[in-house]
């Protein structure tokens, strides 16, 4: 196999879309996301900057963040100082599926981190993956 033709997988600290990919639910879609950092962080230091499906921005007011079976609106993440996102755990974004939900879609997620122990640092990580929604196996 020609390694030049392969798209390299992002390193764990550069990956925001998790191995679980995209899942269809009764409410829309659920996207597996990962913390692109080497240490666990309070959810209050994580910001979902943008989410797009096939280049069309998803209204972030309609997106919910889930961690440890606890769902909250994105705007409430900044208040979650005691809720810790551990580096080995997936979190999920729940959002409405687009009108044309069948087939594969380009999902682009931009996530910002503000680690509390590195004053003034804003680390932006953006990733795009072509994903096909699969049925929710945990329904």
Rounded Cα distance between 135 and 139, Å, is 9
What pTM was computed for the model? 0.87
Pairing of strands 105-113, 17-25: unpaired
The pLDDT of residue 28: 95
Domains of the chain: 10-96+103-130 (2.60.40)
89-139 pLDDT, tens digit each: 999 999 999 888 789 999 999 999 999 988 889 999 999 999 999 987 654
Which residues 6+ apart lie within 8 Å of 98 measured at CB?
53, 54, 56, 105
The pLDDT of residue 72: 97
The pLDDT of residue 135: 86
């Amino acid at each position: 196999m020609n390694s030049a033709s392969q798209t390299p997988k992002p390193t764990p600290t550069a990956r925001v879309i998790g191995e679980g990919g995209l899942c269809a639910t009764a409410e829309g879609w659920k996207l597996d996301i990962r913390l692109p950092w080497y240490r666990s962080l309070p959810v209050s230091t994580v910001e979902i900057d943008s989410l797009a499906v096939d280049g069309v921005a998803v209204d972030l007011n309609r997106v919910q963040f889930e961690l440890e079976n606890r769902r909250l609106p994105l705007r409430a993440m900044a208040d979650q100082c005691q809720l810790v996102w551990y580096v080995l755990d997936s979190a999920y974004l729940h959002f409405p599926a687009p009108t044309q939900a069948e087939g594969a879609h380009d999902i682009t997620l931009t996530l910002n981190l503000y680690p509390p122990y590195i004053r003034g640092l804003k680390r932006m990580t953006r990733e795009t993956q072509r994903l096909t929604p699969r049925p929710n196996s945990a329904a």
